[in-house]
Amino acid sequence: ELKVEQNPLFLSMQEGKNYTIYCNYSTTSDRLYWYRQDPGKSLESLFVLLSNGAVKQEGRLMASLDTKARLSTLHITAAVHDLSATYFCAVDGGDDKIIFGKGTRLHILP
């Protein structure tokens, strides 16, 4: 059974700092997704990583995938308040369904 673990689950950081959110998963998969959720809102797709070594960047966010280590990272560069949200990673569990981590609640202090 596929397990997806994110850490940390809560992160409070200051504007301008860099930080990384980690997503580990328990079984082989080569598709991983990152989503953002603002309070009370739906999930917005950020990145789709489809192969080992995939790296994608959008603004201050960069995601990477290492399928051999079963690890994805979401790196935040020079954080700004607008990036405060909950970030979810989700992994393709086969059978056409994806399994979500518990989410990382990111709070960026001015």
Partner 1 sequence: DADVTQTPRNRITKTGKRIMLECSQTKGHDRMYWYRQDPGLGLRLIYYSFDVKDINKGEISDGYSVSRQAQAKFSLSLESAIPNQTALYFCATSELDRGYGYTFGSGTRLTVV
Q: Interface with partner 1 by CB under 8 A: which residues?
A: 9, 31, 33, 35, 41-43, 45, 48, 50, 88, 90, 92, 95-103
CA gap 9, 105 in Å, rounded: 6
Q: Is the peptide bond before 39 cis (omega within 30 degrees of 0)?
A: no
In whole angstroms, how close is the CB of 21 to partner 1 at the nearest point?
Answer: 14
CA gap 75, 56 in Å, rounded: 10
In whole angstroms, how close is the CB of 51 to partner 1 at the nearest point?
Answer: 10
**Angle of CA points 69, 72, 75, to nearest 5°:** 135
Would you say 65 or 90 has its CB closer to partner 1?
A: 90
Would you say 95 or 110 has its CB closer to partner 1?
A: 95
In whole angstroms, how close is the CB of 69 to partner 1 at the nearest point?
Answer: 21
